[in-house]
Amino acid sequence: MGIKRGVSFYSYQQTQFFGKMHWKDMVRELHDNLKCDGVEIIDESTIPHYPFPPEEFIYDWNSFLARYDMKAVTKDIYLDVHQFRDHVMTHREAAERLKYDIRLAAEMGFENVRCLCLVPIDVIEMALPTAEKYGVRIGKEIHAPLPINTKGKKQPTQGMAGALSIHMVDEVIELARRTGSKYVGLVPDFGIFQFRPTDLHIAYVKRHVRNTDEVDWLLENSKNFAPHDLDAAQAAFKAKFPHGELSMGEIEGLSLHESSADPEDLRAIVPYICSMHGKFYEMTEIEGQPGHYEDKAINYADPIRVLNEEGYQGYIDSEYEGQRDQQDRGEEFLPNEVEEVRRHHEMLQRLFDATPNKNG
C-alpha cells in the first residue's frame, strides 16, 4: 500500500480565481492525470454559501466523488475570532464553530478536519465528543515555524511564532492520551521542513521594497542569528537599517536558514498523524535527471524516508503555494498550477518508492 497521494484544492486557487477550474475539474484532474484519490479542500473556497451550503451541493459533492471513486480525506477549517466584531469570540463560541464544521465535514464524507495551530487545545477538547459522534478526526496542523519536538527551545515572544504555543504537539498528544480518543491528532505541513526562503519570495519582496540591500543583507547575515530567534534578527536588522522598510513578517521569512522541525522527530508522532500537507513552492527539474523534479527550499527526501521506516500509510496532500509571489505582474508571469502539482506528484511517488514502507 504505502503512503498515499492526494491534493488539496488549495493548490488550484489561482485557476479557480480566474474561473478556469471548478472543483469538479479538480476531481477529474486527480482521477485522470494524477491517478490519485485523496481530496482535501478549503471549506471557504470550495463550499458555496458556506457555512450554509444548499443540500443540492452536498448531494452533488458526494455523488461526484463516488462516481470517480475519490476519498474525501481532509477538510481545512478556520477560526476567525472577530466574526462577531463586538467582542473577541470566546473559547466556547470557537468550539461551536468547530462542532459545526465537523458536522459539515461528516455530511461531505470527510475523514478529518484540519484545525489551525492557533486554535486553543481546550476548544478542541470541547468539540471532541462531536468528533467522536460523527466519526471525524480533528487534526491540528503543525505549521512553520513550529517544531515537532522543542528540544529545549524557548517560547518566542514576537510575531506568529510568539502567538503559537511551541509545545503544541505535546498538548495534542497529551489530550489524545488523557481521553484515550482516536479522534484528535496532527496534520504536519511540509513547510516545517523548509530550510531557506524561496527564490520566488526573494524576488517578490525585491520588487516591492525601495532598498533591495535590506533583503540581500538579511540573506547573507541570517545564519549569524539563532534559527527562528526573531528578536535577534529584528534587533540586528534595525541596527543596520534604522529606517528599514521590511516588516516583521518579512524579516521572519527572509531570515529562515534552518527548518523549524527535524525530520527524525516524525517517528514519535506517526500514530497521531491524520494526514499531511505537502506544502511546496516551485518544482524545478533536477540537473541531469530529465523528468524528475524537486523543491529547492523544502526537504522532502528525509521526512518521506522516515515516514516509510515508521510505516506511515496515510495521505500526503499536495499544497502548492508558489502562485501568490507571482501575481503582482502580468498574466504572462502567472505559473501553471496544474503542471506544478503534476511535477510534485512525480517527486512524491519517486520518493515513496525509494525506500520500503515498514507496513508493506
Partner 1 sequence: MFDSYLIRKDSLENVYEDGKAVGFKFAVRIADYRGCYLSLHNGYYISVDGAEYPRELQSFEINGKAPRSFEEIKKCVWEHWDYDDEGYVYVKKDGGLEPGKHRIGLQQSVLAQYGYFPFHDEEWVKNPPVPGKGAGAGKTAFICYYELELSEGGNK
CB of 341 to partner 1, least distance (A): 15
Q: How far is the CB of 208 from partner 1 (least distance, A)?
A: 5
Of 14-22, 63-71, 147-155, 182-190, the window that binds partner 1 (rule: CB under 8 A) is 14-22
**Residues 104 and 43: beta-carbon distance below 8 Å:** yes
Nearest to residue 188, comparing CAs of 30, 13, 46, 317?
317
What binding mask, one character per residue, do residues 58-97 give for partner 1 by CB under 8 A, x or -?
A: --------------------xxxxxxxxxxx-----x---
Give the three cell numbers for residue 133.
459522534
CA count, 13 A, side-chain hemisphere, 298: 27
From the CB of 125, what's the least distance to partner 1, in Å?
15
End-to-end alpha carbon distance in the chain: 6
Burial class (CB in 10 A: 0-12, 13-18, 19+), 144: buried
Site string for partner 1, 312-341 (x = CB under 8 A): ------------x--xxxx-----------
121 and 171 Cβ atoms separated by less than 8 Å = yes
Does position 56 bind partner 1 by CB under 8 A?
A: no
C-alpha span between 95 and 101 (Å, rounded): 10
Nearest distance, CB of residue 332 and partner 1, angstroms: 11
Which part of the chain contacts partner 1 (CB under 8 A), choosing from 111-119, 177-185, 289-297, 347-355?
Answer: 111-119
> What is the nearest approach in angstroms of partner 1 to the Cβ of residue 274?
18
Site for partner 1 in 113-142 (CB under 8 A): 116-120
What's the grid cell of residue 196?
A: 531557506
Question: Looking at 10-18, 102-110, 129-137, 279-287, which segment touches partner 1 (CB under 8 A)?
Answer: 10-18
Cβ(58)–Cβ(35) below 8 Å: no
Helix (H) or strand (E) holding 179, with range, is helix 168-179
Q: Which of 163, 226, 286, 354 binds partner 1 (CB under 8 A)?
A: 163
> How many C-beta neighbours within 10 Å does residue 326 have?
15
Residues that bind partner 1 (CB under 8 A): 10, 13-14, 16-19, 42-45, 48-51, 78-88, 94, 116-120, 162-163, 208, 247, 249, 324, 327-330
